[in-house]
Amino acid sequence: MPKEVKKERIEVPEQDAGVRIHNFEEVSMGYTMELAVQEAERCLHCPPEKAPCIKGCPVDVNIPAFISKIIERDMKGALEIIKETNSLPGITGRVCPQEEQCEMHCMMGKLGDKINIGKLERFVADYAREHGILANIKIDEKKGKKVAIVGSGPAGLSCASDLIKAGYEVEIM
């Protein structure tokens, strides 16, 4: 018999208002490992070729796969899956409008609250940064050509990352 899936979303802890008026830290404190695993365990693990959450993701992150790695507590594996298509998970986990993209299509929403995909992505990125975890990224054979990127915002950094993966030498200006 399949295990019962928790229908309610695991909310992310936030700083108390009395504390946050005295600092410049983020209001959302992010998941702990235990809370992230609990939220990840709610996922229905749709097959990647059918997962509507992936279709809703502009960068095609394999969401069920990285969520499975969280359940296994394999943050390096989760980070590597995310970074296959998303160079900036620490940013997108915070500012991407997930509720209108991947989360909007989450099948769990038919049974209860949708999976908090963005906060899980943020957790993986933050955990990796705090613990010095680096993703092993496949880089194509060097092309022997240089590309200049004008601008070091998110688009420029993502472009540089994709070009480096494709074997180009990149200079950001």
Both tokens of residue 108? 């769990």
Q: Is the pLDDT of residue 76 over 90?
A: yes
Query: What is the CATH topology of the domain spanning 17-130?
Result: Fumarate Reductase Iron-sulfur Protein; Chain B, domain 2 (1.10.1060)
Q: How far apart are CA 87 and CA 155, in angstroms?
A: 10
Is residue 3 very low, low, confident or very high in pLDDT (cuts 50, 70, 90)? low
Tens-digit pLDDT profile for residues 84-139: 999 999 999 999 999 999 999 999 999 999 999 999 999 999 999 999 999 888 88
Q: How far apart are CA 10 and CA 111, in angstroms?
A: 15
Count of residues making up the chain = 173
Q: Three-state SS for 147?
A: strand
| Every domain of the chain and the residues it spans | 17-130, 138-173
Tens-digit pLDDT profile for residues 16-31: 999 999 999 999 999 9
Asked if residues 43 and 67 have their Cβ atoms less than 8 Å apart, the reply is: yes
Q: How far apart are CA 68 and CA 72, in angstroms?
A: 6
Both tokens of residue 160? 């540089």
Tens-digit pLDDT profile for residues 131-172: 999 988 888 999 999 999 999 988 899 999 999 999 999 999
Residue that the structure tokens 């693990």 belong to: 45
